[in-house]
Structure 1
């Protein structure tokens, strides 16, 4: 009896019943009084008419309702009672139908939510109306779709991690087993190869750790005033040997006088390092990479905009929405050595968002790509420190947006 369908039905039926009983009571009581008054008036007029014809010595009769009048009132009362009963039945049926129209969609949503709790995320509920219940169904379907997508991405992410870790481990294991069995002679070349694989594996694990911490906003950060141009020049200095190896020209268009930003210098340098490395990696030998900075205003906010453009093969339009996802490579033919770990751009997005900024990409197939990292010039005003913990001699900050 705790079902909402019975409560809605009972409340509506009670309202209908009270209304019907009041109407019948008032109609019956007023009908009797008004009809009695009507009969009295009619008999008084008849009495005056008789006195006029009989003369002053005539006598009138007492005022009273006859059998016909009584039968008329009784039939009216019975009709009102039957009408009331019909209204009660109709009200009960309408209340039950209305309650079912509300509760059946809710039961459908409840059953689908139970399936989601069991891990079956591919759930959809029909949208049968445009009211609040229909809006709830639309929101539920959107939530279920998001959960389903997140579940698929998580499984894909785990599969990619297993694949990326398995390859260098297999190489290291195979070489070591060969050396132990005496099949491979442990010379300088073999040891160098093993060292490269170990370094690559260590870098992948470090990137995964940084990315996971960045996604939950628990990355260790040290905020201070940072000059963007200085960080870019530092990243370019570190990557100059890589560019020289492919004979790639790097052009700098750095706007002077940019305001300082409040950020973690190491993480900001990592953003620029990953973007420039990505541009060099996908630019053909003898190509050009352009790095530029400017101060722009967007939504009444000053932003330091960093652009890294190349004249490489470009990115297909179908790949652009996923270019910042984990392990995503637009060119499926590239391996780990030629295409990196597939985490660089994902780390760029997370680090940029942690600093209150945003990253975008534009690309034309055959003409090249342009990546934009926009960092607010006053990021310290966008967030407040809600907690801090000393971690490995660094302060671990948890940030919370002021609007929340």
Structure 2
């Protein structure tokens, strides 16, 4: 498998190579363009010198023979070709000829290259009107030793710069790819350790960018996984205990009755029935959770709160009275589109939970009213008790299944650690919210918000 570091390294090299070559070609083109302009400027200066020389010679009325001879010599010195035309356009002189007048085409005469640099001017004197054409082959200019040496020096400099750029790119790419992939490799190794069950694995990434944020997210995920794994183990232990206790009790009663040690009287059968009920309650709660996780549908209908819930409060008050806990409630006389079965289940679990953890002589109050939250109108259920309360460190976890802030007290009260998990699932099912405030030894307040359906 091709490693990420190698891919990044090759990518950086290719990008740098393309960039350096492109810049090199651009610089080379720019240099040759400027150099060509420089050569043309030099040639133009030569051409003007020749034209000025011709004009001075004509003004000084030098004899044609001497003029043409001197012009031939001067053009050779300046490395140019000079042609002179009369006013009729006939050529009367060409510096590549040895004569002083226009002759027949000379064998081996050079044709003018299409790329040749030319300067044409008319010269007017009292005696003559002529056209002068001065021609220079650009290749000749480029072939001058100084020009060739200068051009080669520039080309070598560009090649050297490209080579140095590539070398630096290789070094830079190596360290950059290492720097980028090191945190990724760290995360990969940590993920492999977690996949093998090392839940305490954490990473330290200090790059001050998205990779550091990724590392922090990974650590949070690792902490959550560790907590969930611990919770799973604890849940397995708690579930085994919850199942074992009633089963062992039932087994003991039945064995005692079979051995004639325990009489099958009403008292013992009642105890046996309570253990069966405890076991049934645990299984029912587990079944509810499984049902909720299967994404139960919501069926809202128009519900009048007083009509629907006043009878329920009166029935459950009997259970509160048996334990000696005072129950107070207020229900607003209003209507709203709600799934009444979900609302009843939430309310029942909240009140059952409050009754379990409120000692004799305590108080539980419940209110149901219409409120607006973040622009959404819905039903707010508040249940407040004066029970044992919840420690602050346990508050983030109380809605997790089988979590118990105090397992011993939970077992004494008959709790299974599933009730609050069911409440949370139900609230999320109706797109609501649940908040809890509690202080150890002072009681707990649960606030549930359920939006009205349209």
User: Structure 2 length as normaliser, TM-score?
Assistant: 0.71
Match for residue 401 of structure 1?
none
Which piece of structure 1 moves more, 301-310 or 272-281? Answer: 272-281
Shift of 1:344: 2.0
> Where does residue 156 of structure 2 map in the other structure?
78
Does structure 2 retain, via aligned residues, the 8 Å contact 1:357–1:374? yes
Confirm or deny that 1:174 pairs with 2:190: no
- Give CA deviations for 1:36-57 in whole Å, capped at 9, x if unaligned: 3455466668879999999976
TM-superposed deviation, 1:332: 4.4
User: What secondary structure is seen at the aligned counterpart in 2 of 1:334?
Assistant: helix
CA distance in 2, matches of 1:176, 1:304: 49
- For the Cα contact (< 8 Å) 1:315–1:364, is it kept in 2? yes
Give structure 1 stretches of 5+ with no counterpart. Answer: 382-404
Could you report, residue by residue, the CA deviation over 1:207-227 in whole angstroms, capped at 9, with x for unpaired residues?
11112322x243476654333
| Structure 2 residue 310 is the aligned partner of structure 1 residue 233 | yes
How far the C-alpha of 1:298 sits from its partner, in A, is 0.8
CA deviation after TM superposition for structure 1 residue 292, in Å: 1.6
Alpha carbons of 1:50 and 1:132: their partners in 2 closer, same or farther (altered >3 Å)?
Answer: farther
Q: Which has the higher contact order (CA 8 A, sep 6+)?
A: 1
Number of equivalenced pairs: 376
Q: Judging changes above 3 Å, is the alpha-carbon distance between structure 1 residues 336 and 24 closer, same or farther for their aligned structure 2 residues?
A: same
User: How far off is 1:163 after superposition?
Assistant: 1.6
How far the C-alpha of 1:34 sits from its partner, in A, is: 4.2
Q: TM-score, normalised by structure 1?
A: 0.79
Equivalent-residue separation in structure 2 for 1:164 and 1:223 (angstroms)? 35
* 1:143 and 2:159 matched: no
**Whole-Å separation in 2 of the counterparts to 1:43 and 1:221:** 97
Deviations along 1:145-187, one digit per CA (max 9) or x if unpaired, are: 3333333322322222112111111111222223333333333
Q: What is the aligned counterpart of 2:359 among 279, 284, 288?
A: 284
User: Are 2:327 and 1:250 equivalent residues in the alignment?
Assistant: yes
| Equivalent residue in structure 1 for 2:390, among 315, 322, 341 | 315
State which of 269, 276, 287 in structure 2 corresponds to 1:191: 269
Instruction: Point out the more displaced range, 21-30 or 73-82.
Output: 21-30
In structure 2, what is the Cα distance between the partners aligned to 1:100 and 1:19?
27
Q: Secondary structure at the match of 2:339?
A: strand
1:81-110 Cα offsets, whole Å, 9 max, x none, are 212221222233334443443344334334
- For 2:449, what is the secondary structure of its paired residue? strand
The DSSP-based 3-state class of the residue aligned with 1:252 is strand
Q: Which of these residues, 5, 8, 13, is aligned with residue 5 of structure 1?
A: 8
8 Å contact from structure 1 (residues 164, 341) kept in 2? yes
Tell me, in whole angstroms, the C-alpha distance in 1 between the residues paired with 2:412 and 2:338. 35
| Aligned counterpart, 1:328 | 403
CA contact (8 A) 1:226 1:260 kept: yes
Contact 1:8 1:99 in 2 (8 A): no
2:278 to 187, 200, 213: 200
Structure 1 distance, partners of 2:217, 2:444, is 36
What is the alpha-carbon root mean square deviation over aligned residues?
Answer: 3.3
How far residue 189 of structure 1 moved from its aligned partner, in angstroms, is: 2.0
Ranges in structure 2 where 5+ consecutive residues have no aligned partner: 80-140
In the alignment, which residue of structure 2 is the partner of 1:23? 26
Moved more, 275-284 or 139-148: 139-148
In structure 2, relative to structure 1, the CA distance for the partners of 1:352 and 1:160 (3 Å cut) is: same
- For the 8 Å contact 1:178–1:184, the answer to whether it is kept is yes
Q: Partner of 1:260 in structure 2?
A: 336
Aligned pairs (5 A) from 1:309-388: 309-378=384-453, 381=454
SS at match of 2:403: coil
The answer to whether the Cα contact below 8 Å between 1:16 and 1:88 also exists between their aligned partners in 2 is: no
2:180 is matched with which residue?
Answer: 102
- For the residues of structure 1 that align with 2:394 and 2:228, how far apart are their CA atoms? 18
* Aligned twin of 2:123: none
Relative to 1, partners in 2 of residues 1:91 and 1:47: Cα closer, same or farther, differing over 3 Å? Answer: farther
Does the CA contact (< 8 Å) of 2:13 and 2:169 recur in 1?
Answer: no
In the alignment, the residues of structure 2 paired with residue 220 and residue 173 of structure 1 have an alpha-carbon distance, to the nearest angstrom, of 40
Residues 235, 272 of structure 1: 8 Å contact kept? no
Residues 301/370 of structure 1: CA separation in 2 closer, same or farther (3 Å cut):
same
* Partners of 2:366 and 2:27 in 1: CA distance: 87
Taking the aligned partners of 1:203 and 1:172, their CA distance within structure 2 comes to: 15
- Among 295, 303, 306, the residue aligned to 1:218: 295
Contact 1:305 1:375 in 2 (8 A): yes
